[in-house]
Structure 1
Amino acid sequence: MSGKGAPELSVSDAGDLRVGVIAAQWHEKVMDGLVDGALRALRDLGIAEPTVLRVPGSWELPVAAKVLADRGYDAVVALGVVIRGGTPHFEYVCQGVTAGLTRVGTDTGVPVGFGVLTCDTEEQALDRAGLPGSGEDKGHEAVTAAVATAVALRSLSEPWREAPRHTA
């Protein structure tokens, strides 16, 4: 199971954060579980009014994440699922979505929770979707990671500055 070794995250003072959740629409049962887990995590963290935005598929997650990050959200969570088929489409979509979401986080400084399941089978996706009987709850995990990172970044006392360079 991929969840082995995950850290126990303890997050406090997050209730005032502005968090956006973006969820794809493909694979409705899996997505319902991911969204429910994400919303449960937000409630657990005291974040009462997250923005939830639905997009057609996982491919559209990075552009939506960029817009939310640019509009001042403290954290963004991207939820989707891509299930391997018989063509190379799986690799292209997974690589593009991963690179796009990574770029949003690094370009904007806004934490992006990665809740995109990349599975060989629908059964694997269902086992990670946080549904009754699932082994993992990746929607909950993605929110917790993004919010924990936003809280950690907020704790910095001043903006990052380049350290002075010493010459010999």
Structure 2
Amino acid sequence: MTVTSLHADSPLDSVPAERRRIAFVQSCWHRDIVDQCKTSFLDAITQYGYTANDIDLYEVPGAFEIPLHARRLACSGRYAAIVAAGLVVDGGIYRHEFVAQAVINGLMQVQLETNTPVFSAVLTPHHFHGEEHVRYFREHFVVKGAEAAHACADTVQKLAALSAAV
């Protein structure tokens, strides 16, 4: 059995050039926090052979709008992967757990229906109050952006290799 792994110095030879594009969809609510994920993702993805020109950036009003946007992008056939980033907090009007669950279920449905991998950096904190949590989640989204870049690049390469082998 051969196990393929993506390392920072690995070329993307197994990924067809037309499928190297990645869509990054971000919600605009709490932009100052969620932008940290996008910036970190864009920095980290270059370690895997991608350039800024390989990434298309999209914005939607809130996290609830991400799955439909992701589905349209996946159905276009232009993207090897889609990354979603957002922050769903308890605003006191509705239960944020319902929104978060709808978003995550929607993203899973998109990837299963379209065969395009979708990566979630949509976070739902149990508690989000004051500057302390804002600072924490700004820093946490930096970590999540780098993790999403690794997972995205690794999965795209492995799926391309799997397609070539089948």
Q: TM-score scaled to structure 2, two decimals?
A: 0.79
For structure 1, list consecutive stretches of 5 or more residues without a partner in the other structure.
Answer: 1-7, 131-136, 160-168
Q: Structure 2 vs 1, CA of residues 9 and 85 (structure 1 numbering), >3 Å: closer, same or farther?
A: farther
Please list, as runs of the form range in 1=range in 2, the aligned pairs for 1:79-158 lying within 5 A after superposition: 79-119=85-125, 120-121=127-128, 123=133, 124-130=136-142, 137-156=143-162, 157-158=164-165
Partner of 2:70: 65
Report the Cα offset of residue 87 of structure 1. Answer: 4.6
Partner of 2:11: 13
1:148 is paired with a residue whose SS is helix
Q: Distance in 2 between matches of 1:9 and 1:47?
A: 13
Work out whether 1:28 is the aligned partner of 2:31: yes
- The structure whose residues are more often helix, as a share, is 2
Q: Which amino acid aligns with 1:13?
A: P
Q: Distance in 2 between matches of 1:71 and 1:13?
A: 25
For structure 2, list consecutive stretches of 5 or more residues without a partner in the other structure.
Answer: none
1:102 is paired with a residue whose SS is helix
CA contact (8 A) 1:13 1:151 kept: no
CA deviation digits over 1:129-166, x for unaligned, max 9? 21xxxxxx11221222122111111101355xxxxxxx
* Larger RCO: 1 or 2 (CA < 8 Å, sep 6+): 2
Work out whether 1:40 is the aligned partner of 2:43: yes
Identity of aligned residues (%): 32
After TM superposition, the structure 1 stretch with the greater mean CA deviation from structure 2, 114-123 or 96-105, is 114-123
Report the Cα offset of residue 128 of structure 1. Answer: 1.1
Task: Quote the RMSD (CA, aligned, Å).
Answer: 2.1
CA contact (8 A) 2:75 2:114 kept: yes
